[in-house]
Structures are given as C-alpha cells and as structure tokens.
C-alpha cells in the first residue's frame, strides 16, 4: 500500500472514529435529556400527589354544601392547572342543575357568562367516564363552536360517582397553549372526584338533617300551639273558617274609627269581639266602657250614658259624668242596643252625628271623641218595621256590620272551646288534668247549643262539678245533653231545625222559671239573657205559670 492510500485510510478511520464519538456523545446527551424529562415528570406528579393529599385533608372540613362546592371547583382548577371550572349536580329528577363556577383566582363566575361544552357534559353524565381533551389533537371536539369561540386548548370533565350513580360532574378548561393534560393528571383528578362525591353526599345529608330538624321543630311548635290554644285571638277561641273570616275582618276594622255593629245570638261572644277591636285599635291605651242597654230603665240608662247634674232627679245628689265622658279618647260598647228605649235613641243619634250631648238636667254641650261599637241579638230590620227601632240610628250604627255565626254553624270550634273551658275550670277548682273521652266529645259535637258558647261553658263547668274526683269526663256527667239527645229523638225526620230549637228553648226556659220560682231577674241571669229578652221569649212561646 503506497503512502497515499495509507493516508486516505487513516483519514477515513479518523473520520469514522470522530463520527462514532459524535454519535455516542449525541446518544449520551439524548439519554440525559430523557432522564431529565422523566425526573421533571416524576417531580410534577409528586407535587400533584402532595397537593391531592392536602386538598383531601381539607375536603371534609365543612358540611356547608355551598362552601364545599366552591372548594371542590378551586381544587380541580389547581390540580389541572387550568383557568376556570364549574360544577353541576343532579336533582331529584336526575336532571343536571348548574351550581357554581369559579376562576383560578377563586372568584365566582356568572352562569350566563360561562359558556360550556354541553356535548362533553352530557357524555360524562351519561356514561360516567372521565373525558379530557387537548383540542388541537382531538377530532371529537376541536370543531365545536364553543371550543372555537373561546379558543380553548384543553378541557377535562370528571363525573362525581357515588355507589355506581352519577350525582354530578366537574368541568374545567384552559385557553393557554402551555397547558396540556396527561393521563397521569386525569388519574389524580379522578381520584379527587371520588372523594369529592362522598363529601358532597355527606353535606347533602347534613343539610337534609338540619332541614328535617327545623321542620320537626316547626311541627312541634304548631302542635303545642294547637294544644294550648293556637286558635285564640284576643281571648276569642275558634278555628273554623267562619271565625277565621271574622278575625281577618277585625284586623281590617280595628285601625280605623268607623262605627261597628256586631250582630249575633245570645252567648256568641259579641263583647269579646268588641274588646278585640278596641285592643287592636289606635285607642287601645284608652278605656273601653261597656253598658247593657236593656238592663236599665230609661231614666237610669240616660244618666249612665250621658251623666247628670245635681238635683236633676230624685237621688241626683252630685254631678255625675256619664260613660261617654269616661270613654273620651277610647271606645264605648253599647251591648243589646236593640233593647234601648225609643226616646233615648234620639239622643244617642245626636251624640253619634255631632259628637256632643248634654247631661241630664244640664244646659252645657259636652263634646267627646269616642268610637262606638254596638251589639244586638235582635233582628233590627224587623224592629224598624215594627216601629221599635229608629231607621236613621240603624244606618248610623251599621257602618261596618260583623255577624257572628251561632255555635251550631261552626262545630269545628266546639273541640278547642271545650279544651279551653276544661283547662280554665280545672285550674279554678284545683283539679288535676282532666280527660274527655271520645264518646263524650261526640255528644258535645252533636248538640245544637241554642245558648252558644256561653251555654257550652256553663255545661263544661257543671260537668267538672259533677265529676267529683274522677279524672275522666264521661257522658254521665252531662245529664242535660243526654236528656236533650233523647228528647230530640222524638222528632220526626220532617221537623225543621227551627222547630226543634223552638221546642228546646221553650223547655229550657220553662224549667229555669220553675226552678227559680218565676223570678224573672234571677232566671234571666241564669240563662245569660236580659230581663226584656226573657219577657219577649215568654210571650213568644206563650209560657205561663199554669202551663
């Protein structure tokens, strides 16, 4: 081999050796790069695992559902290193409902401002499988309008699964090109979602427990109110629809000063209604004075209402202020106004029209500011036709009429009234708590109660006296009701309610008169009516001492 060929070979081998060294160096560099890349990847995964551990510790720190959901969205954004996220939960109809949206600065986003990929959401909710996409390389979603409009680069949607049931989804995305989600990222996020689902369910159950306790407390309160007189309105007890309407009317009428005419049978509680109106009015801090217009003769009634001057009649040894003056600034309640004598109705009309009057025997006009509430158990329209009551006075009184229904028309009130009277008289008589048996209550409910609430009250008081040491109010302690029940059984089916009530009323009045030796005042007091009213009943029923 000549020198030239030898030199060429040496050059070749030298070049080959250099090439080999270069290749080996390149491989070594590449291996180093791969090692560094692996180390960086491992470090990143380690950081996210540490983050997951820390997040998981805080996950169950609250049972407030709204706070928990905010924490879950913030945690997913941090784990995925994305820009924003939102969470949806399934309702009772298994329909997804938007709950919360947040950005990477942990600030809330409005639902309307948060456009989302409904396709991804529906896929995840339906299949219960995690979906993540780097849109530039994913043909499934990269052409969707929301992806294009928002210039999204990457997104992930994870189901919240509890016992093989999808209870919601978490969605997060980013438009930054430097962010790419990997399978490792998704495995960590999916692990977090499993814990989040349990936390959400715990918070839900806690909320339901709190709500259940609140509802139970409300129910207990309502039950206690019902048992202790829930249906009491300013001393008036009633739960019937008819009484509820009256309570509503009182609320409307009380604040104004219009004159009120209360109509209702004896014993229905007309005076209680009047007092309720006064105590709910702007005059409640002033007096309410009451007078029964049928209980006094003309001269005394006039003096009671308007007062008198000294010497104006026999026995008038001093000046006296009447009830109109006493009630100045307050309310005067004219009970049984239908029994007021005609001559006095004229003076009352002037007092109502002008707000002024004169004392009996006086010359000076006295002005007063009073509200008038009147009541009657009479049919004033019939009395006007018969000339017993002035029509102009009726119109002056009947500005706001309140009609109280009889107890027989509101049987729903018998039970709470009975319970109230048992409690009232048990306390007065120092008796232990008494119990009324169902058949006795049924007997009370079947009565027509012509004397209304007052008769029911008297009946309960009588039964507590008769029961002695017994703690159970059985039917035997209501002999009058048992007699009336037998008595009513003698009527034919064709007998009207008015006929039955008329016969019963006559029987009750006759028995009371005989028991009290025909003493009208005493009998009227026992029956809870006025002398005039009792005289009218005796006449209408043709009751006589011989009969």
HEC string of 333-402 equals EEECHHHCCHHHHHHHHHHHHHCEECCECCCCCEECCCEEEEEECCCHHHHHHCCCCCHHHHHHHCCEEE
Cβ atoms within 10 Å, residue 253: 20
The token duo for 394 is: 């009726």
Buried b (16+ CB within 10 A) or exposed e, 72-101: bbbbbbbbbbbbbbbbbbbeeeeebeebbb
Query: Looking up tokens 């009479």, which residue turns up?
Result: 378
| 369 within 8 A of 328, measured Cβ to Cβ | yes
More confident residue, 59 or 183: 183
pTM: 0.50
Q: Where does the pLDDT of residue 229 fall: very low under 50, low under 70, confident under 90, or very high at 90 and above? A: very low
Q: What is the pLDDT of residues 70-88, one digit of tens each?
A: 999 998 898 888 888 899 9
The token duo for 9 is: 């070979």
In 177-276, at which residue ranges do the beta strands (DSSP E only) sit?
232-233, 236-237, 260-263
The token duo for 427 is: 């306390």
| 104 within 8 A of 83, measured Cβ to Cβ | yes
What is the CA angle 10-15-20, rounded to 5? 125
Dist CA 294 CA 529 (whole Å): 10
**Average predicted confidence (pLDDT) for the chain:** 81
The token duo for 349 is: 């009309």
| Residue 313, helix vs strand vs coil | coil
pLDDT at residue 477, rounded to an integer: 86
Pick from 57-61, 139-143, 366-370, 411-415: least confident? 139-143
Query: What are the CA-CA distances from residue 383 to residues 297, 342, 390, 530, 537 (Å)?
Result: 19, 11, 8, 17, 15
Q: What is the pLDDT of residues 143-199, one digit of tens each?
A: 666 666 667 778 888 999 998 899 999 998 888 877 778 888 888 888 889 889 999
Provide mean pLDDT across the span 205-220.
74
The residue among 457, 372, 475, 472 whose CA lies nearest residue 418 is: 457
pLDDT at residue 228, rounded to an integer: 44
Query: What are the CA-CA distances from residue 348 to residues 248, 319, 532 (Å)?
Result: 30, 20, 20
| 460 within 8 A of 477, measured Cβ to Cβ | no
Cβ atoms within 10 Å, residue 444: 22
pLDDT at residue 25, rounded to an integer: 57
| 349 within 8 A of 389, measured Cβ to Cβ | no
Whether the pLDDT of residue 340 is over 90: the answer is yes
Kindly give the pairing relationship between strand 260-263 and strand 400-403. Answer: parallel
What is the CA angle 258-250-460, rounded to 5? 130
Phi, psi dihedral angles at 544 (to 5 degrees): -135, 160
Dist CA 128 CA 139 (whole Å): 21
Q: What is the pLDDT of residues 256-285, one digit of tens each?
A: 999 999 999 988 999 999 999 999 999 999
In 52-174, at which residue ranges do the beta strands (DSSP E only) sit?
84-90, 96-103, 131-134, 154-162, 165-174
pLDDT at residue 489, rounded to an integer: 47
* Total length of the chain: 547
On the CB side of 533, CA atoms within 13 Å amount to 26
The residue among 143, 332, 179 whose CA lies nearest residue 156 is: 179
């Amino acid at each position: 081999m000549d020198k030239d060929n030898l030199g060429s070979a040496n050059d070749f081998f030298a070049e080959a050796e250099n090439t080999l060294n270069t290749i080996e160096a390149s491989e070594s560099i590449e291996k180093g790069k791969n090692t560094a890349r692996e180390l960086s990847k491992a470090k990143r995964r380690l950081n996210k695992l540490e983050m997951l551990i820390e997040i998981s510790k805080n996950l169950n720190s609250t049972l407030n559902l709204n706070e928990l959901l905010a924490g879950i969205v913030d945690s997913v954004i941090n784990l995925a290193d994305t820009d924003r996220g939102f969470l949806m939960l399934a309702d009772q109809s298994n329909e997804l409902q938007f709950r919360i949206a947040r950005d990477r600065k942990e600030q809330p986003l409005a639902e309307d401002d948060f456009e989302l990929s409904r396709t991804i959401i529906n896929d995840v909710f339906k299949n219960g499988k995690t979906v993540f996409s780097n849109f530039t390389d994913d043909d499934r979603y990269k052409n969707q309008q929301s992806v294009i409009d928002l210039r999204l680069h990457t997104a992930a949607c994870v189901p919240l699964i509890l016992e093989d049931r999808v209870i919601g989804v978490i969605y997060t995305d980013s438009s930054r090109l430097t962010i790419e989600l990997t399978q490792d990222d998704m495995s960590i996020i999916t692990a977090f979602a499993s814990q989040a689902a349990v936390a959400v369910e715990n918070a839900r159950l806690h909320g339901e427990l709190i709500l259940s306790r609140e509802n139970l407390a409300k129910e207990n309160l309502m039950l206690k109110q019902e048992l202790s007189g829930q249906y009491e309105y300013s001393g008036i007890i009633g739960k019937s629809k008819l009484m509820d309407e009256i309570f509503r009317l009182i609320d409307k009428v009380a604040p104004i000063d219009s004159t009120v005419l209360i109509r209702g049978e004896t014993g229905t509680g007309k005076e209680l209604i009047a007092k309720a109106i006064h105590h709910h009015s702007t005059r409640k801090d002033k007096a309410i004075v009451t007078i029964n217009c049928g209980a006094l003769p003309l001269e005394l009634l006039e003096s009671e209402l308007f007062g008198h001057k000294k010497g104006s009649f026999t026995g008038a040894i001093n000046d006296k202020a009447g009830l109109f003056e006493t009630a100045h600034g307050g309310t005067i309640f004219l009970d049984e106004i239908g029994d007021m004598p005609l001559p006095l109705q004229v003076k009352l009309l002037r007092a109502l029209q002008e707000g002024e009057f004169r004392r009996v025997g006086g010359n000076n006009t006295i002005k007063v500011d009073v509200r008038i509430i009147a009541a009657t158990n009479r049919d004033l329209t019939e009395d006007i036709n018969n000339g017993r009551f002035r029509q102009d006075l009726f119109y002056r009184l009947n500005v706001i009429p309140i009609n109280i229904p009889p107890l027989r028309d509101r049987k729903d009130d018998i039970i709470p009234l009975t319970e109230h009277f048992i409690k009232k008289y048990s306390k007065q008589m120092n008796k232990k708590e008494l119990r009324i048996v169902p058949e006795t209550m049924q007997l009370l409910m079947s009565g027509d109660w012509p004397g209304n609430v007052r008769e029911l009250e008297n009946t309960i008081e009588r039964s507590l006296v008769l029961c002695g040491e017994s703690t159970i109010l059985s039917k035997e302690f209501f002999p009058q009701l048992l007699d009336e029940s037998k008595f009513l059984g003698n009527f034919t089916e064709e007998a009207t309610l008015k006929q039955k009530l008329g016969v019963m009323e006559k029987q009750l009045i006759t028995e009371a008169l005989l028991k009290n030796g025909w003493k009208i005042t005493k009998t009227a007091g026992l029956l809870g009516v006025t002398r005039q009213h009792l005289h009218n009943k005796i006449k209408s029923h043709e009751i006589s001492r011989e009969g």
